[in-house]
Structure 1
C-alpha cells in the first residue's frame, strides 16, 4: 500500500469517530509536501498514525499555532474540522525539524485501556475453568497498562465490579449475551509483558506519546489513559524488550508453574505475517507439551467496522471457542452464550 492510499484508508476508518483525522488524512493524501515528510516514518510502521500522533504530541507539549483551535484535546470549543487542513499543512512545514525525530523514532503503540472491557469477562471465563490463580503473559504489551486489568474497576451498564476501590473505571455496555462478569477479579499469581519496543509509563516522554496516540475527539479515552498511567506509576507492570513471537517459549518457561498460564493480546495478529502467525501457533503448541496454556486472542474476527473478536484456544488439545466480540475501544461487548 503506497502512502496516499494508506492515508485514504485511515480516513475511511476514522469516519464519524474522528472528523478531524478524516479531514487531515484526505488532505495529506493529496499533498506532495506532507507525503514527503511522512516518508520519514520507517517502512515497518503505519505512517498515517505516526504522522498524526507526532503533530498531536507537539501540540500537547505546548506548540503555539492556530492548528490547536481544531483539537478538542486543546480547546473546549474547537473549530469546524472541515477548515483545519491549511493550518495543519502550515504547522508541519513550520515544525518540520521538530517532527522528523518523532517520525523516525516513534511507533503506533497505543495502550487502549478500554479493551480491558473485553479482557475482563474472557479472563473470568478462564478463571471459572481452572483451580489456580492466573499467570499472565501479554504479547505486544506496549507500556503494559492492560497487564493491570485486575486493578481496574468496571461498569457494564450495571453496578461497579472488579477492583471497586480503584481510581480507574472502564465503562462498557453489554449488547448481547450474558458474559461471566465476576464481582471480584480473578487472582493473578504473576504477570509479564513482551514488546519489541516497550514504553515506560513512568517516563514523562513515553507517557506523553501514549497521550498523543489518542484521537483528539476521544476525551473519555484520554481520561481513562491518564487514570491508568497514574495506576501504572504506583504498580509498574514488567514489560521486557523482545520479539514476542520468537521468544515466547523461553518467556513462558520463566513463568511460575503454580498457576493457569494465559497468553493473550488485544491487537497483535493484524501486525503479523502469515509466517509469524504460524511460528506463534507452533510456540503455543510447544508450551502446551509441558503445561496447559490458554491462548486468548483479542483481535480475532477483526472487521473494518472496528469490532474485535474474542477467541480462546487451549493447548495442548487446540480446541477453539469464540467467546464474543467487542468494540475496539471497549465501548460495548457481545457475548456468545
Structure 2
C-alpha cells in the first residue's frame, strides 16, 4: 500500500479505537498492513488520488459492514460476530477473500464519502438553541448543511438530559445524555417555525436505511439501535433534506429574509469534506448575509467542526448583526461528551 494511503488506514484505525470501535480499528489496521495489488478494487485503493478528507478507509469499512449485513459473506459475518476468536492470520485470510470475491460490490462503496448522520451531535444543537433562544427571544428558522438523512434536522424532537434537568419534549422518543462539563444551558425552550437542509447525496430514511446503518461501526450496537429509532422518527415526520451542492444552497437560503425569526445556519463535521476554496467561499457567503442581518431578522452560524485543537472538535458560533464570534466549548465528534463554556473569541 502506498505510504500515504497506508497511513490514512492506520490513522483511522487509531481514531476508531479511541472512539470505541476496536473491531473497526482492527480491520483497518490489518488492511493497512496486508492489502495488495491483485484486483481492480485493491488497485483503486492503493492508487487513491484524493486527500485524506475523502475518508477512504471509512468508505471501505462501510462496504464491508454492508456486506456483513447483507448475509452474503458467511466467513466475514462470523468474523464480525466474534473477531477475538480469530488470530491475525485467520482474519487477514477472511478479509482477503472478501476483497477478492466481492470486489465489484465493495468498489461501489468507494464512490461517495461516509454518512453516519450521528444524531448525538443534536445534544450540541439542543444546548445551542436554548442558549440562542434565551439571548434573542425569537423563534427559529433552521438551515442545515450536510444534512444526510435529516436526523439532526429534527433535534427539537429529542430530549437532552443533564443532571436533573431535561431539555426538550417530555414525551421525546429519544433522550440524549452526554457527559457534560460546565454550566447547563438556559431553560428557555426554543420554538422552531421551519426547517430545511441540503446534502450532496441525501439519504432516504426508508429506501437508504441499510446504507446509513452500514456506515455505523458494527460493534456499537447502541449507536445502531439509536439510529434506527431516529430513522423511524424522521420518516414519520416526513422531514427530507434537499439534494444539492452546499454553496448554491447557502446562497439561496441566505437570500431570504425571515423577519421576526432567528435564522440558525449550522453544520456538524461537514466543513472538512469541502475543498479549501469551497470553505472560503462558504464563509464569505455567510458573512455577506450576516452584514445584511437586522435586529428583527438576525443570523447565527453554528459550526461543530475540526479546528486542529484537542480534545474533540470546536463549537464555534457567529452572530449578526454585529458579527460577534464566540466559542461555545468543545465536544466529542460523536456527541459522547460536551464541554460547555461560551466565551467571546
**Normalised TM-score (structure 1):** 0.88
Per the TM alignment, residue 37 of structure 1 is displaced from its structure 2 partner at its CA by 5.1
**Equivalent residue for 1:130?**
136
Q: Which deviates more from structure 2 when the two are superposed, residues 9-18 or residues 108-117? A: 9-18
Matches within 5 A, 1:245-284: 245-254=247-256, 256-284=258-286
Q: Across the two proteins, how many residue pairs are aligned to each other? A: 327
Q: What SS does structure 1 have at the residue aligned with 2:170?
A: coil
Q: What SS does structure 2 have at the residue aligned with 1:79?
A: helix
Q: Quick one: distance in 1 between partners of 2:87 and 2:44?
A: 22
Q: CA RMSD in A?
A: 2.4
Q: Quick one: distance in 2 between partners of 1:32 and 1:46?
A: 19
The verdict on how the C-alpha distance between 1:308 and 1:323 changes in structure 2, with shifts beyond 3 A counting, is same
Q: Which deviates more from structure 2 when the two are superposed, residues 31-40 or residues 184-193? A: 31-40
Gaps of 5+ in 1: none
Q: What SS does structure 1 have at the residue aligned with 2:286?
A: helix
Q: Quick one: distance in 1 between partners of 2:123 and 2:230?
A: 14
Matched, 1:335 2:340: yes
The verdict on how the C-alpha distance between 1:2 and 1:246 changes in structure 2, with shifts beyond 3 A counting, is farther
**Normalised TM-score (structure 2):** 0.86
Superposed CA deviations along residues 215-259 of structure 1, whole A, max 9, x for unmatched, are 122211111111110101111223112221243121223474331
**Equivalent residue for 1:51?**
60
Matches within 5 A, 1:1-337: 2-16=4-18, 17-30=20-33, 31-33=35-37, 35-36=42-43, 38=45, 43=50, 45-71=54-80, 75=81, 79-80=84-85, 83=88, 84-104=91-111, 106-174=112-180, 176-180=181-185, 182=187, 185-203=189-207, 206-254=208-256, 256-291=258-293, 292-299=298-305, 301=307, 303=309, 307-336=312-341
Q: Quick one: distance in 1 between partners of 2:85 and 2:163?
A: 32
Gaps of 5+ in 2: none
Per the TM alignment, residue 68 of structure 1 is displaced from its structure 2 partner at its CA by 1.5
